[in-house]
Amino acid sequence: MGSKPDAFNAPSLTLKTASGRNRKLALASACSFAAMSLACGVGSAHAAENSINTLLEEVEVVARKRGDAERLQDVPVAATAYSGDQLEALQTRDLESLAFKMPNVQMDDAGTIKSTANFTVRGLGVNSSIPSIDPTVGVFVDGMYMGINAGVILDLFDLEGIEVLRGPQGLLFGRNVTGGAVVVKTAKPTEEFMSKVRFSTTAQEETNLAATVSGQISESVNGRMTAYYSDDKGWFENKANGNDNLGASTTWFVRPSFTVDIGESADLIVRLESGHVDADGPIGQNRGDFSQAIASSVGVTDWNNSEGSFEVAIDNEGWAETDWSQAIAEYNQDVAFGNGTITNILAWRDYETAGEGDIDSLPVHLFHSYSLIDQDQLSNELRYSGRFGNTSVTSGVYWFSQDLEYIEERNLLGGALVMAGGGVQDHTAKGVFTQADIDLNESWVLTLGGRYSSEEKSVDIASIIPGLNDCDRQGCATYDFSDREEWSAFTPKVGMQWVMSDTAQAYAVWTKGFRSGGYNMRNTAFGESPGPTDQEEQNSFEIGAKSQWLDGRVKTNMAVFHNTIDDMQREVNLPSETAGVAQLIRNTANATIRGAEFELMAAATDNLLLTMNLGYVDGEYDDIWLDLTGDGVVDGADYALDIPRLAPWTYGVGMVHDLQLGSWGALTSRINYNHRDASAYTDNNLGMLSEVEMVDFSIGFAPDSGNYRLALFGKNMLDEVSEGNDTQLPGMLGPVTLGPNSTFTPINRGRIVGVELNYEI
């Protein structure tokens, strides 16, 4: 790993192959994958039963925040959900790994600051690692909203499930979910004793060891302890120094949780978590026309920096360290009033990350950066869910507060120019909401609801401009910008659901979404204000249908949608000869985005399952106020640009097959193919994200008698290159010529093959 203070380096178990390169074997659980929301898994590890039957079971979701979870097929919400068994079977390590398996969904890591989410749903996303910029897709862990997009893509283990809700979810989930919401649910303590261990290792030198133990502590208290450790030796080769373990990291976390029965009608769930990540810096390519010539000038002559290459050549491998702690207390009380449930979720999270990276992505020191994020948040949601005659009601109040500090240092031209800045922000959000689902008769349900949200942000910002402020890696002594602003919005919802039968429903819904305004803590442009921006608002109309036939052996979900976005809030990335890159946070345009989605699961036989997902999105600008092309005028060339992160087509197919091996056990095979179109990354469309074809597989065995599952798995078998971002660098940086098309392009890993063992007691 790159050099850094107090680096944590843990030993790992490695084997040598015939070639002499360190390699690892891997053991992986074999279960199947259904591209839509289906329960997956082979049940207990010692049961070699037909996994197709398990796949046909229903997944329960909390998308409507009712007292009890509901079958996804009954809920009038476009969503894809995964059970905990399914996530383990897919060898799911983080949210990003699910991205290609859902229509119109991208869950990418920005690649600049480790574990920073650039999530996009239905063409609505942001391109930013600036922590003061609010996302369009909210992430919720056990009811806690993740206040910034940093620290979201972390390793996952021992989950009850994940729900990805598409379309604005502002009524029940609040602001900053105009694209959708990702709901992560960790596994709860059990009364019955259980334990499980998972060990996996790959040919690409990544070893994971995780374990869970759960059971009764006393008559009224159940406990669960989950521990996770990953030792990743790195996947990439650095052509600048011959290091073939670039991208190394170690990750660990522990998650104790407790349930307490408080009488017959109340319970308390307390979930704690603490973790640490120690890693190399961003893995960036520079795809500029002059990049190979610059590399050759310092002796790097065998570097391929083309779009389809995984090769990098950087002089600063960087580092990143992340620490977090959190506590979530959920209290549930059954009440006679409406035969309902009162739920209170109190949550706290402290998150800190610091790191250094090579932004010029060349084997010479032209543009290196350091950043620090320190965030502390506290929130509380109190809600009631009950039923009065023919009406189900969910109402609540919400409060959220966070303190945020950001520091960035830019070290340019071999240290000849060093500048630093950042800022501090106090942020408070409040909301009150009600949704009523009214049964008009046995077939029709009317939904009416609304949410009022208000936010306040106060900031002190030091622009990252030479000589303008007094900042270093420890903080800023002075600030050149201070401000305070408030935003508020009312987001109503009107919907109608037609329950045609126990196995089919259709729905139509209109709702509004709200994304708060904000400030730019990475202000690097002379004469530009750090904000504030106006709030972004969305009108969304959606029609959908869900159905199943042949006793649930065939299931389909589909939806069409039409969204209009007013005052679209964007981070406009521009090359800067004095700062490297300048980011302007602006309300750029009004836009319209429309599209459709389809998901299918069909059990062709008792031993063969087929899956399919298809998504299409189309968008256009209606009004533009900011010159996006950079030619000095707003004209037809600006209106002809593609909306960033809008990939027109996403689709995939999959197959799962069960084979009974006599009395030995069962062999389960899975293969999936998924496609995502190319899309623009920058507003001027000079930065692009590549078209990607993803092929994954697994072949697993579970014995008739035994308590383990064993599988071989492979990911990205076509060795496709995909990018976290594609930021344009200037042709000149001070007196140094970088040439045309110079970029900072962090790339993701290619082919990974391994094995995984799951053992249960």
Backbone angles phi, psi at 451, to 5 degrees: -140, 135
What is the Cα gyration radius of the chain? 25
What's the count of helices (H) and strands (E) in the chain, helices before strands?
A: 5, 45
The candidate with the shortest Cα–Cα distance to 589, out of 541, 641, 553, 625, is 625
Domain regions of the chain by residue span: 15-760
Q: Report the alpha-carbon distance of residue 2 to residue 317 in Å, rounded.
A: 5
Residue found by looking up tokens 């996530």 in the block = 87
Q: How far apart are CA 62 and CA 75, in angstroms?
A: 10
β-strand 481-501 against 475-476: which pairing, if any? unpaired
Asked if residue 305 lies in contact with residue 346, where contact means CB atoms within 8 angstroms, the answer is no
Give me the pLDDT at residue 8, please.
33
pTM for the structure as a whole: 0.91
Q: Which CATH class is domain 15-760?
A: mainly beta
pLDDT by 10-residue block (mean), the chain, 761 residues: 41 32 31 31 37 70 89 92 76 75 88 82 88 91 93 86 93 91 95 95 93 96 97 96 95 97 93 96 95 95 94 96 97 94 98 96 96 97 97 97 96 93 96 97 97 97 86 90 96 97 96 93 89 94 95 93 95 88 92 97 90 96 94 94 95 92 89 95 94 94 87 95 94 93 95 93 78
Helices (H), 155-306: 170-173, 291-296
For residue 616, CA distances in Å to 297, 498, 598, 650 come to 46, 25, 9, 7
pLDDT tens by residue, 631-661: 889 999 999 999 999 999 999 999 989 898 9
Which one, of 108, 18, 23, lies nearest residue 749 by Cα? 108
**Contact at 8 Å (CB) between 219 and 194?**
no
d(CA 676, CA 416): 42
List the one residue out of 106, 102, 94, 97 whose CA is nearest residue 678: 106
Helices (H), 132-182: 170-173
| pLDDT for 14 | 32
**DSSP character for 133?**
S
